[in-house]
C-alpha cells in the first residue's frame, strides 16, 4: 500500500482530534483539519485563500468547491505524498463526491473512512462537562478530570468557566446538524466499501489500538 489516505468521521466530542494526532505520530501523516487549512490558505494569500476570505469576512459559508480546492492544494504538498489524515471534511455527501472525484484526478484514492461512533448522550456528557481556566486555557472535566476544588483551577485558583460552545443546549444543536448533514456519509462510504467502525466509548488508547490493527489489516490485504 503506497499511501494511507484516511478520513476521520464521527460526531463532535468523539475524539477525532486525539486519534488524528496519534495516527500522525504512528505513520508520519499530516493531520489536515479543515479550519486550520482554510486559515493557513488565507494567511498565505493563495488564490483560493483569498477567495475563501471573501466569504469568511462577510460571515458566509465557504463554498464546497473552494474548500475542496484548498484541501487538494494541501494534499498535493510533499509531506502528504505518502498519505494524510483528513479531519472535518467532507461534512456532506456533496463534499464527499467532490473530494472523491478530485482525488482521482490526482491519480490517488482514499484508503478508508474511519468512523469513531459515540452515542449522543455520551457526547453531551463529554462536552458539557468541560470547564476552562479563561486565562490559561487549561481544561478540566467535572467527571473525568475534576479540579481538586470545585470550579477552581488547581494551579492559580482562578474560577473555571463553561464555554458557550460546551453548554448542553449548544451541543445538542450541533448534534442535530451532524445527524442531518454528516451522518449520511456513513452509508455513503459503507457503499464504497471504505467504512471502518470503531467504538468511541472505549478509552482513547483502546480506540487507537483498534484503528492501528485495522490499518495493518488493510496493508496486509493490499499486499496479498
- Give me the catalytic one of 163, 167, 173, 219: 163
Please tell me the distance from the alpha carbon of residue 208 to that of residue 196, in angstroms, as a whole number: 13
- Give me the catalytic one of 22, 108, 130, 196: 130
Q: What is the DSSP secondary-structure string of 105-150? A: HTT----EEEEEE--HHHHHHHHHTEEE-TTT--EEETTTB--SBT
Please tell me the distance from the alpha carbon of residue 180 to that of residue 165, in angstroms, as a whole number: 19
Is 167 a catalytic site residue? no
Is 39 a catalytic site residue? no
- Give me the catalytic one of 39, 53, 91, 197: 91
Q: What secondary structure letter does DSSP report for 94? A: H
Is 163 a catalytic site residue? yes
CB 103 within 8 A of CB 109: yes
- Give me the catalytic one of 53, 152, 174, 212: 174
Residue 46: how many other CB atoms lie within 10 Å:
15
Among residues 193, 16, 187, the alpha carbon closest in space to that of 117 is found at: 16
Is 196 a catalytic site residue? no
Is 212 a catalytic site residue? no
Which three three-digit cell numbers place residue 50? Answer: 483569498
Catalytic residues: 16, 91, 130, 163, 174
Amino acid at each position: 500500500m503506497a499511501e494511507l489516505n484516511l478520513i476521520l468521521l464521527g460526531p463532535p466530542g468523539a475524539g477525532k482530534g486525539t486519534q488524528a494526532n496519534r495516527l500522525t505520530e504512528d505513520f508520519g501523516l499530516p493531520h489536515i483539519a479543515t479550519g486550520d487549512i482554510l486559515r493557513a490558505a488565507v494567511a498565505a494569500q493563495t488564490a483560493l485563500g483569498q477567495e475563501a476570505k471573501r466569504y469568511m469576512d462577510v460571515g458566509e459559508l465557504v463554498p464546497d468547491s473552494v474548500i475542496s480546492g484548498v484541501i487538494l492544494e494541501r494534499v498535493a504538498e510533499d509531506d502528504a505524498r505518502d498519505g494524510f489524515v483528513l479531519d472535518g471534511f467532507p461534512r456532506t455527501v456533496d463534499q464527499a463526491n467532490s473530494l472523491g472525484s478530485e482525488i482521482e484526478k490526482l491519480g490517488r484514492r482514499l484508503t478508508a473512512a474511519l468512523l469513531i461512533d459515540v452515542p449522543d448522550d455520551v457526547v453531551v456528557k463529554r462536552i458539557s462537562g468541560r470547564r476552562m481556566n479563561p486565562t490559561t486555557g487549561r481544561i478540566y472535566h467535572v467527571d473525568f478530570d475534576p479540579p481538586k476544588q470545585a470550579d477552581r483551577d488547581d494551579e492559580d485558583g482562578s474560577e473555571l468557566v463553561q464555554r458557550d460552545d460546551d453548554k448542553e443546549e449548544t451541543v445538542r444543536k450541533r448534534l442535530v446538524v451532524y445527524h442531518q448533514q454528516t451522518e449520511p456519509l456513513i452509508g455513503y462510504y459503507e457503499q464504497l466499501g471504505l467504512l471502518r467502525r470503531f467504538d468511541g466509548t472505549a478509552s482513547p488508547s483502546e480506540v487507537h489500538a483498534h484503528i492501528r490493527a485495522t490499518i495493518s489489516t488493510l496493508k496486509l490485504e493490499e499486499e496479498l
